[in-house]
Homo-oligomer: A and B are copies of this chain.
């Protein structure tokens, strides 16, 4: 970080530091860059979902100079839209969304009659999951996105306190991957039953993140099949934003919410935005 300490402020105020890593190691560097007047563009959720005190410090030092649109929905215009609604005096009542392509694909498979274990393994074969699918099935990645939205609304809370429903029981959390995969069929009955119960009332199962003015939570939910989150098919993301102004009819944004190309484009869009506003603070 010596270059940051040595850099003159005039130069640093024109610098844009970009973090596309998946690590928390860079947070001190980002903070140092911000304190010298640089802008930060990050696609790294960990920068925004660490301890509340770290987040507050980031906001205190960096203010609006931290851009992180791609951390939720990749290239979809979600965070910018919510920020703009807030900036113009709107009040967000709720944001509910399917924010995991992996879990969206899995819900679609269940709906098509595939067993839970076969659905997970197919998603893994297609590269939709991490090598250890528990990283996705735990819901932790969705919880991080929900927390980013909640903090954007001004909530102060730790990631560990976001109620997060895991799709596998605690008893399978620490077993070796091989054993986890072998024992996946133990869960098939549970999800077949849930799916059938939902279908009987024209409802579908979706892994939903819900952020309200009071809190946030993520988990498997029954939603009406028609319209809203129930009509979503496959790995796409969908965000339903209800505000005081968009109440009866919400503002909805839908599309691919992951993938290297749309994420890279979103990072570039943030960099362009940072360039446009370089001298405004």
A binding-site residues for B, Cβ under 8 Å: 75-77, 80-81, 84-85, 87-90, 227, 231, 233-236, 245-246, 249-256, 261-262, 265, 268-269, 272, 275-280
Indicate which residue in B89, B245, B280 contacts A262 across the interface (CB closer than 8 Å): B245
Q: Which residue of B lies closest to A241 (CB)?
A: B255
A-B contact pairs, 9 of them (CB 8 A): A75-B245, A88-B265, A236-B249, A246-B256, A246-B262, A250-B255, A252-B253, A277-B277, A278-B280
Output the least CB separation between A139 and chain B (Å).
Answer: 23
* Bound complex: CA A178 to CA B213 (Å): 50
Closest 4 CB pairs of A and B: A251-B255, A252-B254, A88-B268, A88-B265
The answer to whether B253 touches A253 (Cβ under 8 A) is: yes
Contacting residue for A276 out of B76, B256, B265, B280, CB 8 A? B280
Chain B: which residue is nearest A259 at the CB level? Answer: B245
Contacts of A231 in B (CB 8 A): 227, 231
Bound CA–CA A234/B256 (angstroms): 26
- Give chain B residues whose Cβ lies under 8 Å from the Cβ of A254: 251-254
A265 contacts across to B, CB distance below 8 A: 85, 88-90, 245
Measured between beta carbons, the chain B residues less than 8 angstroms from A256 are 246, 249, 251
A230 to chain B, nearest CB (A): 11
A218 to chain B, nearest CB (A): 22
Tell me, rounded to whole Å, the shortest Cβ–Cβ distance linking A67 to chain B: 12
| Residue in chain B with minimal CB distance to A264 | B88
- With most chain B CB atoms within 10 A of its CB, the pick from A84, A85, A227, A268 is A84
Report chain B residues within 8 Å CB of A88: 265, 268-269, 272
Task: Report A37 CB to chain B, min CB distance, Å.
Answer: 15
Q: Which B residues are CB-close (under 8 A) to A253? A: 77, 251-254
- Cα distance A82–B63 when bound, in Å? 27
Among B75, B76, B84, contact of A269 (Cβ-Cβ < 8 Å): B84
- CB neighbours (8 Å) of A278 from chain B are 280
**Bound CA span A87–B270, Å:** 11
- If A90-B265, A276-B277 are given as contacts, then 9 extra A-B residue pairs at C-beta distance below 8 Å, sorted by A number, are A77-B81, A227-B231, A227-B233, A246-B262, A249-B255, A249-B256, A251-B254, A252-B253, A278-B280
The CA of A138 and the CA of B89, in the complex, are separated in Å by: 36
What's the nearest-Cβ distance from chain B to residue A80, in Å? Answer: 7
